[in-house]
Amino acid sequence: MALLVLGTPVSGAPAANEPAAVIRLNSVGYLPDAAKTALIAAACQRYAIENCRTGQIAMQGEVHPADATPANGQPLWRADFSELTEPGLYRFVVDDVGRSAPFSVSVGVYNRPFFAAMRGMTLWRCGVAVRDDSTGEEFHHAACHLGDGLLDYVDPSRAGARLDGAGGWHDAGDYNKYVVNGAFTVGMMLHAWLQFEDRLTTLELHLPDGQPDLPDVLEEAKWEIDWLLKMQAADGRVYHKLSTLQFGGFVMPEEETEPRYYAPWGSAATADLVAVAALASRVYRPYDAAFADRCLAAARLSDRWLQDHPNDHRPDQSAFHTGGYDAPDGDDRLWADAELWAATGDPRSLQALQHRLQHSRRAVADDWDWGDLANLGVYAYLTSDRADRDPHLVDSLQRELIASADRLVQRSQRHPYDRTLGDRYYWGCNGTLARQTMTLQLAHRLTGDGTYQATAQGTLAYLFGRNPYGRSFVTGVGAKPPRFPHDRRSGGDDVAAPWPGYLVGGPWPAGTDWRDEQADYRTNEIAINWNGALIYALAPFVEPASFAADTAPLPPPTEPPTQSTESESDSRNG
Q: What is the pLDDT along the chain (574 residues), one digit of tens a residue?
A: 233 322 332 322 334 467 889 999 999 999 999 999 999 999 999 999 999 999 999 999 999 999 877 766 789 999 999 999 999 999 999 999 999 999 999 999 999 999 999 999 999 999 999 999 999 999 999 999 999 999 999 999 999 999 999 999 999 999 999 999 999 999 999 999 999 999 999 999 999 877 888 999 999 999 999 999 999 999 999 999 999 999 999 999 999 999 999 999 999 999 999 999 999 999 999 999 999 999 999 999 999 999 999 999 999 999 999 999 999 999 999 999 999 999 999 999 999 999 999 998 889 999 999 999 999 999 999 999 999 999 999 999 999 999 999 999 999 999 999 999 999 999 999 999 999 999 999 999 999 999 999 999 999 999 999 999 999 999 999 999 999 999 999 999 999 999 999 999 999 999 999 999 999 999 999 999 999 999 999 999 999 999 999 999 888 766 555 444 333 444 365 4
570 with 525: CB under 8 angstroms? yes
174 carries an active-site annotation = yes
Question: In the prediction, which pLDDT does 557 show?
Answer: 65
Question: In the prediction, which pLDDT does 569 show?
Answer: 43
Residues 6+ apart with CB under 8 A from 24: 38, 39, 40, 41, 417, 465, 466, 467, 468, 469, 470
305 lies in some domain: yes
Query: From CA 543, how far away is CA 111, in angstroms rounded?
Result: 6
Catalytic residue among 303, 369, 486, 517: 486
Between CA 20 and CA 397, with CA 461 as vertex, the angle to 5 degrees is 135
Give the total residue count for the chain.
574
Where does 486-558 have alpha helices with state H? 488-492, 521-524, 528-538, 547-550
496 lies in some domain: yes
525 carries an active-site annotation = yes
| Number of domains the chain is built from | 1
Query: From CA 151, how far away is CA 147, in angstroms rounded?
Result: 12
453 lies in some domain: yes
566 with 7: CB under 8 angstroms? yes
- Summarised one tens digit per residue, pLDDT across range 108-143 is 999 999 999 999 999 999 999 999 999 999 999 999
563 lies in some domain: yes
Question: In the prediction, which pLDDT does 563 show?
Answer: 41
Question: In the prediction, which pLDDT does 212 show?
Answer: 85
SS3 for 365-425 is CCCCCCCCCHHHHHHHHHHCCCCCCCHHHHHHHHHHHHHHHHHHHHHHHHCCCCCCCCCCC
- Give how far Cα 40 sits from Cα of 27, 46, 84, 92, 466, Å: 14, 11, 18, 10, 10
447 dihedral zone (left: phi>0; alpha: psi -120 to 50; beta): alpha
255 with 492: CB under 8 angstroms? yes
Q: What is the pTM assigned to this prediction? A: 0.94
Task: State the first-to-last Cα distance of the chain, in angstroms, to the nearest integer.
Answer: 7
Catalytic residue among 174, 216, 224, 332: 174
Distance of CA 145 to the CA centre of its chain: 24
147 with 162: CB under 8 angstroms? yes
504 lies in some domain: yes
345 with 386: CB under 8 angstroms? yes
456 with 463: CB under 8 angstroms? no
Distance of CA 395 to the CA centre of its chain: 30
Strand pairing category for 177-178 and 241-243: antiparallel
55 dihedral zone (left: phi>0; alpha: psi -120 to 50; beta): left
555 lies in some domain: yes
546 with 204: CB under 8 angstroms? no
Element (H, E) at 104: strand 103-105
428 dihedral zone (left: phi>0; alpha: psi -120 to 50; beta): left
The CATH code of the domain that includes 191 is 1.50.10.10
488 with 248: CB under 8 angstroms? yes
Catalytic residue among 171, 272, 339, 516: 516
Catalytic residue among 487, 525, 550, 570: 525
Question: In the prediction, which pLDDT does 572 show?
Answer: 61
Torsion of CA 195, 201, 202, 207, to 10 degrees: 110
Domain that holds residue 540: 5-569
516 carries an active-site annotation = yes
474 dihedral zone (left: phi>0; alpha: psi -120 to 50; beta): beta
314 lies in some domain: yes
574 lies in some domain: no
Residues 6+ apart with CB under 8 A from 91: 49, 50, 52, 99, 100, 101, 102, 103
Query: From CA 478, how far away is CA 391, in angstroms rounded?
Result: 45
Distance of CA 76 to the CA centre of its chain: 29
